[in-house]
A and B are shown apart, each in its own frame.
Chain A
Amino acid sequence: MLKHLYSNPFQITSPEDLSAEKTVNLFVDVFTDFQKIIDPGHVFLIGPRGAGKSMMFRYLQPDCQCLAKECKLADLPFLGVYIPLKNTNFALAELRRLEHRHASDILNEHILVTHFCIKIFETLSKNSTYADDNLNALSVKHFYNDVFWPTLIKTTPGEMAYQIDDLSSASEIFAKMMEISEILYNQALTYAKKLAFRQDFIPYDGSLCDYVTFLVPIVSNLSQIPGFPKGPIYLLIDDAHWLTDTQARALNSWVATRSSRKISLKISTQYNYKTYYTATGATIDTPHDYSEIDIATIYTGSNKSKYRERIAAIVNKRLSLFGIKNITAEQYFPEDNEQENAISKIAEDYKKKYDEGNGRGFYRSDDALRYARPDYIKSLAGSSKSSSTYSYAGFNQLVHLSSGIVRHFIHPAHIMYAEAKNQLTDPSKKIEFIPPSIQNKTVREEANNFLFSDLERIEKEGHVEAPPKEDIKRLSNLVQGLGGLFRQILLSDRSERKVFSIAFSDTPSESVEHILDLGVQLGYFHRSTIGRKDSKSGGRTRLFVLNRRLAPVWTLDPTGFAAYLFVDNNLIEEGMKNPSSMLRRVAKKGLQEEVEIVQIELF
């Protein structure tokens, strides 16, 4: 049946729209890498678009959990309720009128709280997991009368009457609570809309709901309903970067209440979360108030090998559900045989040298892994000047190119499949594997689009006086400068030639940090940490890893272990201003003079 729904095994579907059955079928369990998400406690789950945050949250919802664990709702260790924040009302232009006036903090918190209530009761009323065979309508009525209603009347001025006597099912009663929440939500939105073209003060006479006195009692008492899990409730808050500064401060204040024993806030966001300040001006800090997980860092650090396994499992599941069975990810994305044979031959030569006592590495295979592919790329760049003929085909290379972000594997795979399908003379035939030429062409185009469409073309003709454009120009320079530098190192005779990261041997200036942070936000770098070069007493320093999606732009080797550069701030400052001059100077003076290369990873 899935085959009819998807025309392409690598179709990206919003997790929100996936049924529990499909989610469980497609999901590859990653929680051993992200244990804190399933443990009680507040968590910020940070990662770029497409890193799999929403899919994790979808899987943690009770319908999926009951299916995966083959248990009843009451037996689940926690209750996960999905709260998407991807709603343009949070960026409603009219809400700007509230800023610095009109009790902005209070009204924005009310909007957040009532939005949460709507999503919670919507889930409870519509999801079959909470259907009447699991929950007793009478118990839900008790919840309404003993918890919801008394909490509601404390926040709402004037008379209210919402009868539920005639409602006979749990879902109807939950739907009524959703309807009431919508009324409360609309009171504030309607008020904000009235402010659109007015600068004078209009009194607000609607209800005001806050986290501590409204949401906490309602949510924490849900577990008292017979049939509900007795463990904590996890509010799976997705896409928190949609919140305005004021709304983010309200949410941070909730994190600061440390109510995680009963309610844990699992907050996903991209890198542009507005602030970590609370409404009172304090900050929330990790690990005291919350735990932080950066998906990109996890999968570009020591867990790289696990990432490869995850992607292989995702590919296998998708192909299998599409009716393409008994094929591994490696077989579906085959390497360029001719190229790999040539690289294997170079690798064998290195092993032979090791056996003769002329190896540099500790183990027999070290030099082969470290130098064979760079040597091959170097041979292409030599007299034949045919670097562009290097092929990025092969599952292994594609995994490395996706740089720890699942969607950066799935998206090109979708394009490859469509292209392969286009080339078929018989469109009813299945694609049994993706030809290496299509793989290589796709990832090269994707790399160019990533750099040239999104950065260089913005920077081209950039208006240098305007800070954002100037920043983009400097980021573009830096990316191009570092890519060129990594290329120089790859083609050198140094003992470490695969480089993708930089760390500072001195203190980076504010402007360098700013541009690197912008690069992280836009996905051109990942952030990590390493031990300090000059520290005898330990301590760590920040490491910036170039996104390997860009490797084809400079024909870099994306595979295997990589080293990092210790650079000083001046070099990066120069790279941001004039990458060509930086590269010329480094080439003239020699790499040894400018940078120190240290090996960090080997797998």
Chain B
Amino acid sequence: MKPVKINISDIQEVLHCTYDLFICSSSFEDRCLSVADNISVEKFRKALIVSNIDLIEQIGENKDTLEKRFGNRSNSVNISTSDPLLTADSLGQNLTKIMNDGIVGSILLDVTTFTHESLLILLRLLKMYCPKSKITGIYSNASEYSVGDKDDYKWLSRGIGEVRSVLGFPGNIVPSRKTHLIVIVGYEHERAMGIIETIEPNSIALGYGRSDSTTTDKDKNANEHYMHLVEEMATSFSDVEHFEIPCNNPFKTRDEILHQIKKAGDVNVLIAPMNNKLSTIGAAWAAFRNENVQICYAQALRYNYSNYSSPGHHCYIFDFDEK
């Protein structure tokens, strides 16, 4: 199955059915409004607006806009970048409450501006609490990242804090096995380097987005960022495995990651998804199929709040056939 790419202005027309629940995340990126602005709130019985309490100063305006737009349909869900337990508990309680209030047969999940970690936790919770719901995913693209910066100076986040496993994706890590790290590389080559240097795996595989699958309008130089990473890694890893993923297709990303896991053999496999949210969903689905795999996340010290991205003109729509 392939996600459908449509103009953002056509969402209302393409998504002709109604949904019991809409889930989205407010963000310092204006992209968090792209889907909500182009769809009628009448399509939804309920809406969960997820907000990061650690970034309330940066996201406040967009949070208010979203909550206002969905009015009394909306429930605000507080999550935290520094406390995954709070994120899990808050999301879990809200999902349970809505499930208890009535049947949730269909969900539209706007994955665009969740953090990778909160999205992964949410996907695990949906698998646990809403196994029978029909979930449709939607992802709106960016026209540009690190807006206005020259190619050499583009950045999305700086520094890494704690490297930890993602709650709900602990895998089965056996101390007597060697560690193989699969990094799905995006723009953030410094952050990717940080996670590799912290984990110091025995072997690594770097997955990067195929150029014909880019979801960003101006994304010509992603490969250069990737090459920086490869060059930096050359000192410590004489043999780096490379593979391509289609950034616009979580199903194929899942299959490619599963292929890489199989190739790695009898080792502990860790995945660090650092490209767009579609590929992160692919990583989650791969981990659902192989529960021995652990997903890791490196918290950024800071994000490029003011110029992280500018909203694009397209979005990708796909059905979850894997929960």
Would you call A11 an interface residue if the criterion is a C-beta within 8 Å of the partner chain's C-beta atoms? yes
Q: For residue B113, give the distance in angstroms from its CB to the closest CB of chain A.
A: 18
Binds A, one of B18-26, B31-39, B81-89: B81-89
State A410–B302 Cα separation when bound (angstroms): 31
Smallest Cβ distance from A58 to chain B, in angstroms? 14
Could you tell me if B301 and A457 are in contact, using CB atoms closer than 8 angstroms?
no
A326 within 8 A of B: no
- Is B17 on the interface with A (CB-CB < 8 A)? no
Please give me the residue from chain B that is nearest to A116 by CB atom: B175
Query: Does A415 lie at the interface of the complex (its beta carbon under 8 Å from any beta carbon of B)?
Result: yes
A208 to B158 CA separation, bound complex (whole angstroms) = 41
- CA separation between A25 and B159, bound complex, in Å? 37
A292 at the A/B interface (Cβ < 8 Å)?
no
**Docked pose: A122 CA to B177 CA in angstroms:** 10
- The proximity string for B residues 178-189 relative to A, scoring 1 for CB distances below 8 Å and 0 otherwise, is 010000000000
Give the contacting residue for B92; candidates A14, A49, A197; CB below 8 A.
A197
Interface residues of A in 1-22 (CB under 8 A from B): 5-8, 10-14, 16-17
Is B301 touching A472 in the complex (CB atoms < 8 A)? yes
Report the Cα distance A115→B176, complex, angstroms. Answer: 9
| B202 in contact (CB, < 8 A) | yes
Among residues 70 to 86 in chain B, which have CB atoms less than 8 Å away from a CB atom of chain A? 84-85
In the complex, are the beta carbons of A93 and B84 less than 8 A apart?
yes
Known interface pairs A93-B170, A196-B168; A118-B175 also in contact (CB < 8 Å): yes
A185:B88 contact, CB within 8 angstroms: no
CB distance from A176 to the nearest CB of B (A): 13
Partner of A411, one of B162, B174, B200, B235: B235
CA distance A182 to B174 in the complex (A): 8
CB-CB < 8 A to B320: which residues of A?
none
Interface residues of B in 136-195 (CB under 8 A from A): 155, 158-159, 161-168, 170, 173-176, 179, 190
Smallest beta-carbon distance B238→chain A, Å? 6
With both beta carbons as reference points, the residue of chain B lying nearest to A119 in the complex is identified as B175
Q: Mark B233-268, 1 if CB is under 8 A from A, else 0.
A: 011101000000000000000000000000000000
Stretch with Cβ within 8 A of B (4 or more), from A59-67, A84-92, A157-165, A551-559: A84-92
User: How distant is B199 from chain A, measured CB to nearest CB, in Å?
Assistant: 7
Interface secondary structure of A, over-half rule: helix
Q: Is the CB–CB distance between A91 and B176 below 8 Å?
A: no
CB distance from A3 to the nearest CB of B (A): 12
Q: Which of B162, B238, B301 contacts A11 (CB 8 A)?
A: B238
B270 and A88 contacting across the interface, CB-CB below 8 Å: yes
Q: Are A197 and B170 interface neighbours, CB within 8 A?
A: no
- Measured CB to CB, the nearest residue on chain B to A16 is B202
Q: Out of B158, B165, B199, B235, which one reaches A93, CB within 8 Å? A: B165
Which of B166, B235, B296, B306 has most chain A Cβ within 10 Å? Answer: B235
Q: Does A306 sit within 8 A of B, measured CB to CB?
A: no
A contact residues, range = 35 or more
Tell me, in angstroms, the Cα distance from A228 to B224 when the chains sit together: 54
Report the count of interface residues on B (CB-CB < 8 A): 43
Q: Is the CB of B235 within 8 A of A11?
A: yes
Question: Chain B nearest CB: distance from A77 CB in Å?
Answer: 28
Contact B302 A458 (CB under 8 A): yes
Cβ–Cβ < 8 Å partners of B238 in chain A: 5-8, 11, 13
- Flag whether B109 is at the interface (Cβ < 8 A): no
Q: Are A88 and B175 in contact (CB-based, < 8 A)?
A: no
Asked whether any CB of chain A lies closer than 8 Å to the CB of B294, the reply is: yes
**CB pair B301 A468 closer than 8 Å:** yes
Give the residue name and chain of the A residue nearest to B294 (CB).
A88
Partner of A86, one of B88, B125, B199: B199
Q: Please name all residues of chain A whose beta carbon is closer than 8 Å to the beta carbon of B174 when the two chains form the complex.
A: 182
Instruction: Enumerate chain A residues within 8 angstroms of B115, measured Cβ to Cβ.
Output: none
Picked from A12, A193, A454, A463, the residue with its CB within 8 Å of the CB of B235 is A12
The residues of A that contact B155 with a CB separation of less than 8 Å are 457
How far, in angstroms, from A189 to B165 measured CA to CA in the complex? 13
Map CB proximity to B onto A124-135 as digits: 1 under 8 Å, 0 otherwise: 000000000000
A96 at the interface (CB under 8 A from B): yes
Chain B residues within an 8 Å CB radius of A453: 190
Q: Chain A residues near B211 (CB, 8 Å)?
A: none
Provide the residues of chain B in CB contact with A91, threshold 8 Å: 162-165
* Any A CB within 8 A of the CB of B64: no
Inter-subunit contact A88/B165 (CB<8 Å): yes
Cβ-closest chain A residue relative to B174: A182
Contact between chains at A461 and B304 (CB < 8 Å) = yes
Q: Which of A69-122 contact B (CB under 8 A)?
A: 86-89, 91-94, 96-97, 115, 118-119, 122
Contact of B202 among A11, A14, A196, A418 (CB under 8 A): A14
Listed residue (A5, A94, A118, A410) with the most chain B CB atoms within 10 angstroms of its CB = A94
A323 CA to B235 CA, complexed, in Å: 19
Residues on A with beta carbons closer than 8 Å to the beta carbon of B124? 197
Interface assignment of A377: CB less than 8 Å from any CB of chain B: no
Picked from B85, B163, B294, B302, the residue with its CB within 8 Å of the CB of A462 is B302
Is B85's CB under 8 angstroms from A87's CB? no
Q: Given A7-B238, A411-B235 in contact, is the A88-B199 Cβ separation under 8 Å?
A: yes
Task: Report if A197-B128 is in contact (Cβ < 8 Å); known contacts: A14-B202, A93-B166, A94-B167.
Answer: yes
B164 to chain A: which residues have CB within 8 Å?
88, 91-93
Residues in chain A near residue B301, CB distance under 8 A: 458, 468-469, 472
Q: A122-B176, A182-B174 are in contact. Are A463 and B85 (CB under 8 A)?
A: no
Decide if A199 is an interface residue (CB 8 Å cutoff).
Answer: yes
Alpha-carbon distance between A274 and B165 when the two chains are bound, in angstroms: 18
Quick check: is B217 within 8 A (CB to CB) of the other chain? no
Name the one of A8, A196, A415, A461 contacting B170, with C-beta atoms under 8 angstroms.
A196
CA distance A86 to B125 in the complex (A): 29
User: CB distance B167 to A463 under 8 Å?
Assistant: no
Residues of chain B within 8 A of A284, CB atoms compared: none
Q: Which residues of A contact B170 (CB under 8 A)?
A: 89, 92-94, 189, 192-193, 196
* Set of chain B residues within 8 Å of A16, measured between Cβ atoms: 202
Give the docked Cα–Cα distance between A182 and B85 (Å): 27
Taking a contact as CB atoms under 8 Å apart, the answer to whether B125 and A197 are in contact is yes
B176 touches A178 (CB 8 A): yes
Residues of B within 8 A of A178 (CB): 176
Alpha-carbon gap, A97 to B124, bound state (A) = 17
What 1/0 flags go to A419-432 for Cβ under 8 Å of B?
Answer: 00000000000000
A residues 341-367 near B (Cβ < 8 Å) are: none
Shortest beta-carbon distance from B77 to chain A in Å: 15
**Docked pose: A189 CA to B202 CA in angstroms:** 23
The verdict on A414 contacting chain B, using a C-beta distance below 8 Å, is yes
> What's the nearest-Cβ distance from chain A to residue B194, in Å?
10
Other than A458-B301, A469-B301, give 5 A-B pairs with Cβ distance below 8 A: A11-B236, A92-B164, A92-B170, A196-B170, A458-B159
20 sampled A-B residue pairs with Cβ under 8 A: A8-B238, A11-B236, A12-B236, A14-B202, A49-B197, A86-B199, A87-B179, A92-B165, A93-B170, A94-B165, A182-B174, A192-B170, A197-B88, A197-B167, A199-B89, A414-B234, A414-B235, A457-B158, A461-B306, A472-B301
Q: Closest 5 CB pairs between A and B?
A: A93-B167, A458-B158, A122-B176, A414-B235, A91-B164
